[in-house]
Structure 1
Amino acid sequence: MPDQILKVLKVVFDAQIRAGEIPAFRGAIAAKVGLNHDLFHNHAPGSDQFIYRYPLIQYKRQGEQPMLLCLSEGVDEIHKYFEQRDWSINLSGRTLDMKIARLDLNQFTLQLGPQPQAYQINRWLALNQEKYRQYQALSGLTERVQLLERILTANILAFAKGVQWEVPGPIALRIQEILRENLVPYKAQKLMAFDLRFQTNVFLPRYIGLGGKVSVGFGTVKPLRPDANFKTSNR
C-alpha cells in the first residue's frame, strides 16, 4: 500500500514529573490497567520476557508534564486506562491526579514525498553494544555518520513495520548535523545518546520515537517545519 492513514493520540496531563521518572510513569500506568494488557509495557503477561516490537503506547514528557503518545492499536488500547474510575497514580512517593491538560486526536498520512522533510531527533539511542563497538572503531567522521544514517533508516523501517505500513519505495536519508553526543543516565546505566538533524523522504509524525527505549521517551522526532499531513481533532 503506497500511503496509509495512522491514528495518533497525544495526551498531556496536568502534573509534573522529572525526566528520570518516565520509566516509573510507564510502570504506574501499566499497573493501573493491569499487566495482562501488554501494549502498555511490552512484556509477556505473567513473565519478565520482553516482547520485541515497536511500542504503540509511548511515555514521554512535554516540558515537565507527563505525556502519552498512542499510535494505531494503541489509540484504542489506551481507553483501558481512561475507563478506570480513578486515574491517579503513585510516583516516587507522591500521588498525581492525572487530570488532562490537552488531548489531540490526529490522523496522519504515512507516505514517501518527492522532497526531503527536515527533522530533529533528541536523545536518540542508536547504538547497541555491537554497533557501539563498530562506531568506536571508525576513525573518520564521514564513516561514523554513514553508520548512523544506516541505523536511523533501519529505525524508520522498524517504526513502519510496527504500524503495519509497507514502505512503497527506497528510503532516502541524510544526517545534516550532529548537535550533541553524550552519555545519558538510564536506571543504573549510562547510554550514548545523540541529538541531531536529518532529512528524509519519509513523512514522520511529530513526537514518535525512533531507536532504543522509545517507550520511555528516548529518540523523539520533531519536524523542523509545519507538517500538512495531519488532520487534527483537539479536545
Structure 2
Amino acid sequence: MDTRTISPSSSATTLTPNSNSTLLADSVRLATITFPGIRLQPRDAHKLRGYLGGLFRDHSPLLHNHFDDGTYRQHYPLVQYKVLNEVATLVGLNEGAAPLVQLFLHIRELDLAGKRHPVLDKHIRHESAAIGLGTELYRYRFVTRWLPLNQGNHRDYQALEPAARRMQLTRILTNNILALLKAANVYAPQLPRLMVHLALSEPVLTQFKNQPMLGFGGEFVANVVLPDGLGLGKSVARGFGSVQRLD
C-alpha cells in the first residue's frame, strides 16, 4: 500500500486552473449536532444511529434511511451518525439538515445498548457549506475508517497486485466522491474531471454487520471541496469514511 505523503501541488499541472476562480463549487445546507459531555468510541456510532433513528422513526425516513413500508432508501444517507474525536456527532446534509434542527431540543438522553447517557451539554451548528469540484487540489484525511469494498470486490481486491489495488481503490474513491456530489445536487457532466490521489495507511480488519471488512485510514488529494464531517464509502450513516480537510 502506498503510504507516501502527497503534496497538494504535486499534480497541479494535470488540472486546468482558472485564473479568475479556483473554486467551481456550490453550497449546501449542513447541520451538525455534538454532545461534548458524552465520550464514546467509533464503534458506538451504530448504537447512536439505532437509538435516535428508532426514537424519531415517525419523524422522517432520512433519520434511519428506510421508507414507511420498510424498504431501504438506496441513496447517499443525508443524516449520518458518528463519533469524531470521541464526541457523539450527528450530521445532516441538505434535506437531512432540517430534521436535526427540528429535533435538537427534544434529545434529552442517549440510550446506547441499554446504557443511558443524560444529555447535559449539546451544540448545534447550522450553516451553508461549500462543496463541489475545484481547479486546485485539496488534501483530506479520513478521521474514521473508510470502507471501500463490499464482499464481492473484496475478493477481487485480494487477488490483485499492489499497483492494481491502488488503481481499484482510486476508482472506488472517485465514485464515492461523485456519489456525494450527486446527492448534494452539485454534480454536472460538464464540470472538470475529478482527479484523486491516495496516500493510505495499511488496512485493518473492521467489523461491519458482523462481517470482517478492510478499513483504511490515511489521506487523499483531490480537486474537490468537501465539508468536514461528511462520509465517503460504505456505511457512512454509521460514521465510516468521515473526512477532514487539512489545508
Corresponding residue number in structure 2 for 1:229: none
Corresponding residue number in structure 1 for 2:239: 217
Among residues 65, 69, 72, which one is paired with 2:94 in the alignment? 72
Give me the whole-angstrom Cα distance separating, in 1, the residues matched to 2:229 and 2:218.
15
Corresponding residue number in structure 1 for 2:118: 97
| Matches for 1:1-235 after TM superposition, within 5 Å | 3-13=25-35, 14-35=37-58, 37-47=60-70, 49-82=71-104, 84=106, 87-121=108-142, 122-139=144-161, 141-167=162-188, 168-175=191-198, 177-225=199-247
RMSD: 1.8
Residues 120, 221 of structure 1: 8 Å contact kept: yes
Number of equivalent positions: 220
Contiguous gaps of at least 5 residues in structure 2: 1-23
- The code of the aligned residue for 2:171 comes to R
- The code of the aligned residue for 1:40 comes to L
Which protein has the bigger strand share?
Answer: 1
Give me the whole-angstrom Cα distance separating, in 1, the residues matched to 2:237 and 2:216.
17
Residues 58, 217 of structure 1: 8 Å contact kept: yes
Residues 12, 62 of structure 1: 8 Å contact kept: no
Q: What does the per-residue CA deviation read over 1:47-106, in whole Å, with 9 as the maximum and x for residues that have no partner?
A: 2x321111111100122221111111111121342253x522322222222344433223
Deviates more, 1:181-190 or 1:207-216: 181-190
How far apart are 1:172 and its partner, in Å?
A: 0.9
Corresponding residue number in structure 2 for 1:232: none
Contiguous gaps of at least 5 residues in structure 1: 226-235
Provide runs of 4+ in structure 1 moved above 3 Å: 99-102
- The code of the aligned residue for 2:194 comes to I
How far apart are 1:112 and its partner, in Å?
A: 2.2
What percentage of aligned pairs have identical amino acids?
Answer: 29
State the SS of the aligned residue for 1:180: coil
How far apart are 1:109 and its partner, in Å?
A: 1.8
Deviates more, 1:198-207 or 1:111-120: 111-120
Give me the whole-angstrom Cα distance separating, in 2, the residues matched to 1:31 and 1:196.
33
- The code of the aligned residue for 2:207 comes to P
How far apart are 1:21 and its partner, in Å?
A: 2.2
State the SS of the aligned residue for 1:205: coil
TM-score, with length taken from structure 1: 0.86
State the SS of the aligned residue for 1:219: coil
State the SS of the aligned residue for 2:129: strand
